[in-house]
Structure 1
Amino acid sequence: MNHVLIVDDEADIRESLEAILNEEDYVITTAGTAAEALELIRDADYQAVLLDIWLPDGDGLDVLAAIRGDASHTPRPGAPEVIMISGHGTIEAAVRATKLGAYDFLEKPLSMDRTLLVLRNAIQAHHLREDNQEFARQLTKGSITGESISVKALRQQIKLMAPTNGRVLIYGESGAGKELVARSMHAESLRRDRVFVELNCAAIPEDFIETELFGYRHGAGPGGPNQPTEKRGTFERADGGTLFLDEVGDMSLKTQAKVLRTLDEQRFYPVGASTPVHVDTRVIAATNKDLEEEIARGNFREDLFYRLNVIPFFVPPLRDRKEDIPLLAREFLSEFGQQYGRPHVEISDPALAALKQYHWPGNVRELRNVIERVLILNPKVQRIESKHLPMLVQRTEGVSQRTEGSVPTRSSNGNREEFSTLLQAREAYERDYILKELDRCHGNVSRAAESLGLERSHLYRKMKALGISTHD
């Protein structure tokens, strides 16, 4: 259902428009002044606004400029389409409204047939613009890099399965690249010209996950009295395209039951709605958990597992495809070099050898973070050497190369590391210990913090200080 705001100082017009549009299944909110309209627009998500030019406390064109962000060609994300209405229409007012980004201009007395047609087209344009903006963001994302046997096999599997509508379940450790696989599946599918919507189930509190998935109507969401009166959930936003449910194993059993029903019926009821929303959405799910083990523990529904696991994929950890590390490192170096205005930075063979020797518990995401960190901390370096890498990554190649006065220790994968100060050794140990605990907790920061006896915020600060990615 679509939410429309009617702004007019004449109560009879507001009431008649509201009655007619309610019959057309629109959700209607009304306002009689510019101030009231601006307050409602700040607090709610509207798809279209019917806006009178003449208002008792201001000019409707000023309201239009505020809605469209003063830029008709690049409206702010989520801005509704605005249809101007006036009983004193002039060519000058219509031209100015168009320049400010109005979708159309209607004169009073309103023709209901034309009003309904223009409104329907405006809402369609709004959804198309949202989809285009999301699609443009998707184009900036990366692709699967690597020439290892496992990555080549993964790309071949994507090419084979992407054109189908079969549901996909992607397995892999945190940071291994499950999202990239999902995006590649969408890019090579028959839905590639439609939207790709992602939701990290582990990042949404339990009280909000249902409204994130299914949306809500008439202020039924969990945000309190100041929340918008309507929100489209990810299933609805992904209609016709692909919905990526990351870390699906973290959903509660209650939410799993509703997702299962939606997959079976291809329809759902938004929270607070009395009529269902029908969708055609391909679902791709991902998890870093062993779902069969979670089923045995009673934490995951077996029937939902079989609905999602139509086409299983496995993304190998970086430690199992170390021959891809030089390609990935150079790709990230190019990415961040361009971002920080240093496009010609290189990386030496010994530095690449050190990167290949490290066990990468944080996988590709950790490698990406390391490359960015090295560039930030060495702003004048044009060639990355082993000495520029974080101490935990650096490895010695033999006793003869040991630096005099250094402190040897042993990392979790058995390799020896050299530290010139006690502080460096302590930081390396803390980082390795936290990474191992995060890995044991499948990347869940809250569980890792509880296991380590730390407040979650304290662990986040510690991870940031030690250069550990804070994204699950």
Structure 2
Amino acid sequence: MKLKNTKILIVDDDESHRQMLKAVLSEENCKITEAADGKDAVALSEKSSFDIILMDIRMSEMSGVDALKIIKARKPDIPILLMTAYGSVKSAVEALKLGAIDYLTKPLDIQELKLAVKNAVKNIKIEEVSDRDFSEIIGRSKEIKEVLETVLRVAPTDATVLISGESGTGKELIANAIHQKSKRHDKPFIKVNCAALTETLLESELFGHEKGAFTGAISKKEGRFELADKGTIFLDEIGDMSPATQAKVLRVLQEKEFERVGGTKTLKIDVRVIAATNKELDKEVKAGRFRDDLFYRLNVVTIHMPSLKERKEDIVPLSDHFLRYYKEKNNKTIKGLHPEALGLLQNYNWPGNVRELENAIERAVIMSRGEYIAPSDFPIAIQSALPSDSPLSKGGQRGVDVDAGKSIKDVEKSLIVRTLNETKNNRTKAAGLLGITRRTLLNKIKEYKIG
């Protein structure tokens, strides 16, 4: 992994250490920007785009942990790598929980530093590949990376692939990714929803029909298998296919041939088959609803798409991706998600998976009146995920006042005051509810002159 042209923000109040890091990373042809404290880092991250931020934890103006929280709330996709002295390892561990990708212990090992930066950039490249070549498959969780690794291994082959997973998890995106990364990428990618058509219509759709084959067949029609010749056909919700149609699909898989409905001419095709289902096909086989021989033909390679509740680490990058898209589509100047709103999304169970998250973000963008999306901008079902001990769930209040004209500091101060009131000034409990350390809360109380 090369680091050429990687944009890195180095944040350290020790100028000599900062210059050393700049010299080391400049040798790798990185583009370096410097900041002397956490406040400068926050400001620069707002104005400019960076591939990675390399930041010290202990700084005089604003700590690395505090800067991390603000940057992650506004730009959750920026990877942040922290540097710490041995005595502040505990703070580094806390920072990992807040979203830092890793931490390095001072004095730094140069090779370890370069490796950590390269690993961070490698993860970025995986997401860029997902966004460009994999039809916007967004995520950095272990689960989604395993899926993409399987896609990369299976795509160059002609193997039949069965994609399983709940509705809304993105099975069609995976099918498209396999096709785009295959040797058939410049040939047709034909999609068929097997659950959307009756048995008769599905058979005609798949195999085509001759003129006069049935009432209404006024002309010859080429089927989806024929249209997909030399390319890929995606059979979505194949578990809903009737036994009669299953038998005909099995023949295509085995013999690479079929006849149109009402026809006698046997047509030969060269097509790759990818199927998807939200059912457990092995159980459907045992119940007699799905042919075992077709199941074995389809089940050459299986890819399971995890539900969103199984990959909650991806909620932040997915939300950020949908937010960017829908605020541009709706001409909104929204800066990001308020931390409480982000916590709401992470607490919700997402029965509708990524599709439901996308719909929720679209609605929130439309409903939002402020610079930051608040919990009250989401549907009631999602608002109900607000923890009962959260100060924002008391007294019917479902959001923070983030109307235009209020700065993020005003919003933060308001949230701290409300939380302290709800906890009867119990600062330890308030810090826990706010997701920050007690020391950070005390610093905030002092900074905002909260009585």
Give the TM-score normalised by the residue count of structure 1.
Answer: 0.54
Choose the corresponding residue for 1:389, options 363, 373, 378. 378
Matched, 1:200 2:193: yes
Matched, 1:153 2:149: no
Partners of 2:315 and 2:340 in 1: CA distance: 13
Partners of 1:231 and 1:370 in 2: CA distance: 40
Within 5 A, what are the aligned runs for 1:295-374?
A: 295-342=285-332, 344-374=334-364
User: Which letter maps to 1:367?
Assistant: L
Percent identity between the aligned chains? 44
Cα-to-partner distance string for 1:204-234 (whole Å, 9 max, x where unaligned): 122211001101111325xx34x54121111
Matched, 1:254 2:241: no
Cα-to-partner distance string for 1:175-208 (whole Å, 9 max, x where unaligned): 1111111011111111011111111111112221
Partners of 2:199 and 2:370 in 1: CA distance: 46
Tell me how many residue pairs correspond in the alignment: 267
Within 5 A, what are the aligned runs for 1:29-428?
A: 142-221=135-214, 224-225=215-216, 227-342=217-332, 344-378=334-368, 380-394=369-383, 395-399=385-389, 401=391, 405-406=395-396
How far 1:402 moved relative to its partner?
Answer: 5.8
Partners of 1:219 and 1:381 in 2: CA distance: 61
Partners of 2:395 and 2:177 in 1: CA distance: 50
2:381 alignment partner, SS class: coil
Aligned CA-pair RMSD: 2.3
How far 1:268 moved relative to its partner?
Answer: 0.6
Cα-to-partner distance string for 1:280-331 (whole Å, 9 max, x where unaligned): 1100001111111111111000000011100111110000110100111111
User: Which letter maps to 2:252?
Assistant: T
How far 1:405 moved relative to its partner?
Answer: 4.6
User: Which letter maps to 2:172?
Assistant: E
Cα-to-partner distance string for 1:104-158 (whole Å, 9 max, x where unaligned): xxxxxxxxxxxxxxxxxxxxxxxxxxxxxxxxxxx99832110000111111111
How far 1:376 moved relative to its partner?
Answer: 2.7
Unaligned runs of 5+ in 1: 1-138, 409-472
Alpha carbons of 1:371 and 1:403: their partners in 2 closer, same or farther (altered >3 Å)? Answer: closer
Cα-to-partner distance string for 1:222-268 (whole Å, 9 max, x where unaligned): xx34x541211110111111100011000000000000011111111
| Matched-pair contact (CA < 8 Å) for 1:333–1:345 | no
User: Which letter maps to 2:153?
Assistant: L
Partners of 2:351 and 2:393 in 1: CA distance: 27
Alpha carbons of 1:315 and 1:141: their partners in 2 closer, same or farther (altered >3 Å)? Answer: closer
Partners of 2:197 and 2:335 in 1: CA distance: 38
Which deviates more from structure 2 when the two are superposed, residues 316-325 or residues 212-221? 212-221
Alpha carbons of 1:140 and 1:374: their partners in 2 closer, same or farther (altered >3 Å)? Answer: farther
1:359 alignment partner, SS class: coil
1:239 alignment partner, SS class: coil
| Matched-pair contact (CA < 8 Å) for 2:187–2:231 | yes
Unaligned runs of 5+ in 2: 1-131, 399-451
Which deviates more from structure 2 when the two are superposed, residues 240-249 or residues 202-211? 202-211
Cα-to-partner distance string for 1:320-371 (whole Å, 9 max, x where unaligned): 1101001111111122222222365522222111101100001011111111
User: Which letter maps to 1:369?
Assistant: N
| Matched-pair contact (CA < 8 Å) for 2:162–2:276 | yes
Partners of 2:305 and 2:204 in 1: CA distance: 30
Alpha carbons of 1:279 and 1:386: their partners in 2 closer, same or farther (altered >3 Å)? Answer: same
Give the TM-score normalised by the residue count of structure 2.
Answer: 0.56
Partners of 2:334 and 2:376 in 1: CA distance: 19
Alpha carbons of 1:338 and 1:220: their partners in 2 closer, same or farther (altered >3 Å)? Answer: farther
